[in-house]
Amino acid sequence: MKSRELFERAKLVSPGGVHSPVRSFNSVGGTPIFFETAQGAMMTDVDGNQYIDYCQSFGPLLFGHRDETISKTVRETVDMAWSFGACEPYSLELAEFLVSRIPFIDKIRFVNSGTESVMSALRVARAATKRHKILKFDGCYHGHLDALLVKAGSGLAGESSSDSAGIGSEIIANTLVLPLDDEEALEKLFEREGDQIAAVAIEPLPANYGLLIQRKEFIEKVAKLSRKYGALLLFDEVISGFRVSPLGMAGDLGIEPDLVCYGKIIGGGFPVGAYAGKSQYMDLVAPQGPVYQAGTLSANPFGMRAGLAMMQKIWQEQPYDLLSKSCKELMNGLVRILNLYARIDEKTNTIFSQNKNYISEIEWESVTYGSLFWLKQKTEQPVRSIDAIPIGHKQRFARIFHALLNQGIYLAPSGYEVGFLSTAHTKSIIDDTLDKAENAIKKEFGK
C-alpha cells in the first residue's frame, strides 16, 4: 500500500506526518490514506482506489470537488494574476456581493483562514469595548488561536485550563469557558464578570465536537446577555456560513451578531477567511482605525474569484432543500443498516467491559442539520453539550469508520467531526453509498 509508505516518509519530515492533526487518523486508528485526485463526490488515492467523500475538505466544497464553474474561474485566474500585494477589483466584487446581501454586515475584511478571522475579530472586540475577557463555550472550536484553545476545567464553571501546551497563563486567565445549553451558568457568569467581557464567541451551530444543535432560546439568551452587558456577540460561522443557508445560522435563527467570521465555503475551496460586521466595529480596523491586521496574500485573486463564483452559484441555485433531502436520505439509510446489523456490538463491549456505563445493545441515530450530519448512539435526550455524548462514542465510530473505508466510503476520520454533503452527492451516489455500507457493516459484524 503506497499510502503506508508515504506516511512513514511524512513522519520523518513533518510532525506526526501531517499538516493538521485530525488527518493523522489518531482518533480512529490505522494509517491515513493519501489522496491524489478528486472530482465531484469522489476522491482517488495514490493506489488508484476510489472513495465516496463525505468529508469534502471539512466543508468548503459545497458543490463537490473541482466544481466546473469554479474550476473554469480558477483556470482563467492562472492566466490573469497570482498575487499583487496591491489593490485589485476581485476582492471588491466579492465584498460588494456579500455586503449587499447579508443584512447585518456593513464591511468585511478578507484574511487567509478561519483561525485568522476569529483572531482578528476578537482583537476588534477588545478594542471596541476596551475590555480583555472573552467568553467561549466548551465544545466550540474557533481555530487554533491561543485565546480560544482553552476549554472548561473541572473546577468552578468559568475557570479554564488549556487544550494546548505553549499558551501563556495570562491568556488563559482572560478566556472564560461555559458549557453549551446552560442558561443558568450563563446568567451567573454574566452577573459576576459581564462588565469585563469584550466578546462572546459561539458557533451558532456547534459542529466541531459532534453536531450539537442548540435550542434557539439558548442562543437568544447568549445574544440578550451580551447586549445587556455590552459584550460583542461574535458568531463563528466558519462552518455554518453559506452551508446551512446563504445567511448562515444568523439567518436561520433570526439573530444578528455584532461580528461574524467566515471561512471554508467563502473561498470556494481556496484559503480564504473573512470577518465582518457593522461599520462602527469594522472601522476600527487599520488603516481606518487603530486595530492592526494585515496579510501578504490576503484577498489573493484565486480565493477572491473562486469565492465569488461560489457565492454567485449559491445565490442562484439555492441548493439547500436539495442538500437537506440528500442528507436525510443518506442518514435514514445508514441508520437503518446500522440498526439492522450493528446493534449488539461485541468488540466494543470488550473494550468497555470495565466501564460502569457499559451497554450491551445499542441503537444508532443520526443528527442532521441541512447538509451536515453526525452519526451516534441513540440517546433519550438530544445531545446539546459535550458531556451528553455517550461514553464509547469514539471507539464505536472508529469501527464503523474503518468498515466503511474498506468499502470505499470516506468519512472525516474522527467521531467528533461532522460529515458533509455536496450537490455532487447525487441520488445514484447515495444509493451506491448505501449498497456499499450494507456490505461493509454486514461483513464487519459477521452477518
Ligand X SMILES: *Cc1c(COP(=O)(O)O)cnc(C)c1O
Per DSSP, what are the bridge partners of residue 430?
none
Name which of 114 and 194 has its Cβ closer to ligand X. 114
Residue nearest to ligand X (CB): 114
Does 263 help bind ligand X (rule: CB under 6 A)? yes
Active-site hit among 133, 136, 151, 264:
264
> From residue 216 to residue 255, what is the string marking binding to ligand X with x (rule CB under 6 A)?
--------------------x-xx----------------
Q: Show Cβ contacts of residue 267 under 8 Å, excluding neighbours closer than 6 positions.
A: 60, 273, 303, 306, 307, 310
Min dist CB 272 to ligand X, Å, is 9
Looking at 114-122, 163-171, 252-260, 310-318, which segment touches ligand X (CB under 6 A)?
114-122
Cα(401)–Cα(393) distance, integer angstroms: 12
As a whole number of angstroms, the distance between CA 424 and CA 141 comes to 27
Stretch that binds ligand X, among 40-48, 111-119, 222-230, 385-393 (CB under 6 A): 111-119
Q: Binding-site residue total for ligand X (CB under 6 A)?
A: 14
| Separation between Cα atoms, residue 194 and residue 226, nearest integer Å | 8
236 labelled catalytic: yes
* Cβ contacts of 380 within 8 Å, gap of 6 or more: none
Please select the residue that binds ligand X; options are 53, 181, 203, 256, rule is CB under 6 A. Answer: 203
Residue 376, strand partner residues: 365
142 binds ligand X (CB under 6 A): yes
Q: Which residues of 8-36 are buried (b: 16+ CB within 10 A; e: fewer)?
A: eebeeeeeebbeeebbbbebbeeebbbbe
Task: Look up residue 80 and give its DSSP letter.
Answer: T
Interaction of residue 303 with ligand X, rule CB under 6 A: no
Q: How far is the CB of 139 from ligand X (least distance, A)?
A: 11
Which of 27, 77, 91, 113 is the binder for ligand X (CB under 6 A)?
Answer: 113
Active site residue 163: no
Q: Does 198 bind ligand X (CB under 6 A)?
A: no
Candidates 27, 56, 115, 120; binder of ligand X (CB under 6 A) is 115
Q: Residue 53 phi/psi, 5° resolution? A: -100, 115
What minimum distance in Å lies between the beta carbon of 20 and ligand X?
Answer: 7
Cell numbers for 427, please give them: 441520488
Q: Which is nearer to ligand X, 70 or 118 (CB)?
A: 118
Strands (E) located in 166-308: 175-178, 197-202, 232-236, 259-262, 273-277
Segments of 126-193 assigned E as strands:
133-137, 150-152, 160-162, 175-178
Shortest approach of ligand X to residue 281 CB, angstroms?
19
Contacts with ligand X, residue ranges (CB under 6 A):
113-115, 118, 141-143, 203, 208, 236, 238-239, 263, 273
**Active-site residue numbers?**
141, 236, 264
